[in-house]
Structure 1
Amino acid sequence: MAHGSEDTPADRTLTERLLYRVFGQPRGLLGRLGGWMMAGRKDVTIEWVVEQLSIRPTDRVLEIGFGPGDGIQMATRAAPEGYVAGVDHSALMVRMARERNATAVAAGSVDLRHGRASELPFETDSFETAFSINSMQLWPDVHAGLDELQRVLIPDGRAAFGFTHHAKQPPDELVDTLLSAGFESVELHERDRAICAVVTNG
């Protein structure tokens, strides 16, 4: 897992820092370009990850690292009578995702906030389900983020962590990380070089 700063990490090469500015913490014109490139590119993986959660129509759903908001749209369709919230550490992505989900945001059924995985701005036991796609490897403190996720999930709530092959997330490392965070079991799914780990909150 990456453990750098959520600002552009100083120990990365110029190319890595540029890619981080475009995709890791999108800002400015480059960030908006990255948002446009991300929008729609992961639809198949997002839909697959959301399906693993078996979201019910009335569920309260959280996405951590929602990017331009494609996953938020899918979660809203899966929980039409529920509530969908999200946190992203890029202010630009928050703006883009709010624009993409403007009707649901205005109706109060979607709540998108600027924030970090390690400091989720929600009450304890707020959500039945949660998911994150190509995001966890960017958290500066993965275990703090997973602790926060367990706090805001209800007991027996489910969470899914998805990664496209571009994220280069080793499956064994992902399982070890989730088990060491306190989840008792991990269901690992693989499809078309994408992986998804599903856990239940204790």
Structure 2
Amino acid sequence: MWAEKLGKQLGHPTQSVGGWLVSRLLVARNWVLEENAVQLCRIQPDDTVLELGHGPGLGLKSAAKLLTAHKGHLIGVDYSAYMHKEASERMKDLVASGKVTLHHCDVAAMPLEDNTADKVFHCNCYYFWPDLRKGATEIHRVMKPGGLMVTTLRLSNVAALAAKRVMPGENWRPEAYMTALRDSGFIDVRMEDRQLKYISFQAIYATASK
């Protein structure tokens, strides 16, 4: 039962003690993955960048610093009302200026026009999507032709949680996500092992082909 409850809070944090603990956990444990997802996207100053499942806003803050040109714009989406509220508070000045736009919505139904984003990144996110193909198709729709998508994860940690039944079903497996990306029109889909001084992690890349 505890595993199911933890999995629900990780996938959809609520304004509760459990949601607050998950939020603090994300701040403490996800910052390396968030920072590297941003860096691996090769963000340019005038890009339109989208973060999926932005959580408390760590990746948003990192990405915003790179969008120094007037046209540079950052968009974030999250299914959790609690995380949307947390990130909105963290990014309130940039939201007020129009540099950042945050949406409380499902990744599979984003209120964005076709061909909006130059770069997309996310971290510890796709495992909780009920339909990987639907999510990947929606990401492909909102990306510009040739746009790059990057997601980062620590596969050993994810596999350990899946073994304890914290992760639902088999969607946590990178192969399942990469297949959904290819089936949705992405090319150059690949996963790389990355090594920093203190941490090893994986990065999945995909390019939108249109």
Q: Distance in 2 between matches of 1:20 and 1:148?
A: 24
Which of the residues 83, 86, 90 maps onto 1:100? 90
User: 1:20·1:26 contact (CA, 8 Å) conserved in 2?
Assistant: no
SS at match of 2:68: coil
Identity fraction in percent: 30
Which whole-Å CA distance do the structure 1 matches of 2:59 and 2:154 have between them? 14
**Equivalence for 2:9:** 22
The aligned residue for residue 10 of structure 1 is: none
Structure 2 SS opposite 1:130:
strand
- Aligned position for 1:71: 59
Q: Which residue of 2 aligns with 1:196?
A: 203
Q: Does 1:145 align with 2:140?
A: no
Summarize the Cα distance change of 1:76–1:105 in structure 2 as closer, same or farther, 3 Å threshold. same
- Is 1:50 matched up with 2:41? no
Contact preservation (8 Å) 2:50, 2:117: yes
Over 2 Å off, 4+ runs: 164-182
Separation in structure 1 between the aligned mates of residue 61 and residue 29 of structure 2, nearest angstrom: 14
1:183 matches 2:170:
no
Cα shift at 1:61:
0.4
Give CA-to-partner distance per residue, 1:82-130, whole Å, 9 cap, x none: 1111111100000001111111111111111110111011111111000
Normalising to structure 1: TM-score of the pair? 0.87
- State the partner residue of 1:4: none
After TM superposition, the score normalised by the length of structure 2 is 0.84
Distance 1:147 1:171 in 2: 16
State how many pairs are aligned: 189
CA distance in 2, matches of 1:103, 1:167: 34
After the TM superposition, which residues 124-139 of structure 1 pair with which residues of structure 2 at under 5 Å, given as runs? 124-139=114-129
| Amino acid corresponding to residue 202 of structure 2 in structure 1 | I
Query: Hey, what's the Cα distance between the residues in 2 that align with 1:151 and 1:51?
Result: 23
Which deviates the most, 168-177 or 81-90? 168-177
How many Å apart are 1:141 and its aligned residue? 1.2
- Secondary structure at the residue paired with 1:73? helix
Amino acid at match of 1:134: N
Q: Residue in 2 aligned with 1:112?
A: 102
**CA separation in 2, counterparts of 1:125 and 1:175?**
21
How far the C-alpha of 1:163 sits from its partner, in A, is 1.4
Alignment gaps of 5+ in structure 2: 160-171
Q: Name the amino acid aligned to 1:139.
A: W
In structure 1, stretches of 5+ residues that fail to align are 1-13
**1:21·1:31 contact (CA, 8 Å) conserved in 2?**
no
1:61–1:129: 8 Å Cα contact kept in structure 2? yes
For 2:21, the equivalent position in structure 1 comes to: 33
